[in-house]
Amino acid sequence: MQCHHFEAGRCRSCTWLDQPYVGQVGAKQAHCRDLLAPWPEVTWLPPVTSAEVGFRNKAKMVVAGSVDAPSLGILDPVGGGVDLRDCPLHVAPIRAALPVLAGFVTRARLAPYDVPARRGELKHLLVTASPEGELMVRFVLRSTESLARIRKHLPWLREHLPALRVAGVNLQPAHKAVLEGEQEVLLTAEETLRMRVNGLDLHLRPQSFFQTNTEVAAALYRQGRAWIEEVGPRTMWDLYCGVGGFALHGAGDGRRVLGVETSAEAVASATRSASEAGLDGVRFAVGDATAFALSGAEPTPELVVVNPPRRGIGTELAGWLEASTVEHVVYSSCNAATLARDLAAMPTLCPVRARVLDMFPQTGHYEVIVLLERTAPAGSGPA
């Protein structure tokens, strides 16, 4: 991939851009295999590669400059705007939308937030695209000062951006490097962006998490589903379930599936998806994954899917899994270092298969999914 912003030194976010793509994938595979070297019995499936450009379904644009000449992109070292609306990583619907949104900033007189001076209103524009090209747009504001003007000019935006389905304002009043705040104001009747993945409709709400690479996310869910179907559990938990990707893909054949997630919005989205798909055996609950497992509120399932943030599942949940009667675990990780740490805490749950998925081309980050199976009675591993 070539990028004139990278070559000019304006943006170095793609830290591996100067490496050939095949080398990037090979390096990620080697890095992951090194971390999982203590488990030589693992069978490695071929890595899942990505398109090198046009794969990001979400743009997180810092707004800078002026009302009449806004920049959408990042900040330079002194707090000035670097315009990246032509960034080649974004999917085509986002690249087409960003110039329209820049025009909307001017039309609605939305003053970009000046970080060094601590004045202005519009901090970020967050744009998400569905596989069908429909859009969710969120304006991250310092206060409600601009809200009335955004509402007034929203019909213009919908006319010039017909793919817009969900629009909202997020309030982030603090002067700190935080992408968004807790308060959300929805501006459209439609509340969710429909993300169709592997024939399933996943509903994405404004503050819900979804993988930024839709095609590779679809491959991740297919791999998880294949292992679940191979094992054939009667009961399954999906911990850190988000909008229900693994839970919904793992449903079927009378299987009872429960997804657990801290975000009430994500649980509402997942519940809607299960209802629309007619998956009566799938339900979702709001809660912390570790606290839920340790509570004993539900019978222990035969299989558990975990898809934690970069910090991993931690010692408490790993200890619970190790001591439980769970026979199989599907562990999806965005940080192989914490994955290896968690695996070491579960000696009787042995990793038997693994696959690297290049969710984040042009960087050193990647996703890895691992199938674990119980090879000895719970808790009988070495101390």
Instruction: Give the SS3 label for residue 53.
Output: coil
First-to-last C-alpha distance (Å) of the chain: 48
Whether the CB-CB separation of 74 and 13 falls below 8 Å is answered with yes
Q: What is the rounded distance in angstroms from the CA atom of residue 72 to the CA atom of residue 66?
A: 11
Determine the Cα–Cα distance for residues 299 and 268; give it in Å rounded to an integer.
23
C-beta pairs of 341-346 under 8 Å, 24+ apart in sequence: 341/312, 342/312, 342/313, 342/314, 342/318, 343/36, 343/38, 343/39, 343/370, 343/372, 344/38, 345/315, 345/318, 345/319, 346/318, 346/321, 346/322, 346/372, 346/381
Return phi, psi of residue 303, to 5°.
-135, 140
Residues 323, 300: Cα–Cα separation, whole Å = 11
Residue whose token pair is 């199938």: 371
Q: Length of the chain in residues, anyone? A: 383
334 catalytic residue (yes or no): yes
- Cβ-proximal residues to 77 (8 Å cutoff; 6+ apart), any chain: none
Spot the catalytic one: 11, 14, 241, 334: 334
Q: Where are the alpha helices (DSSP H) in the chain?
A: 4-7, 21-35, 92-107, 147-160, 214-231, 245-249, 264-276, 289-295, 314-323, 336-344
Q: What's the token pair of residue 45? A: 């499936």
Q: Could you tell me if 217 and 284 are in contact, meaning their C-beta atoms sit under 8 angstroms apart? A: no
* Catalytic residue IDs: 334
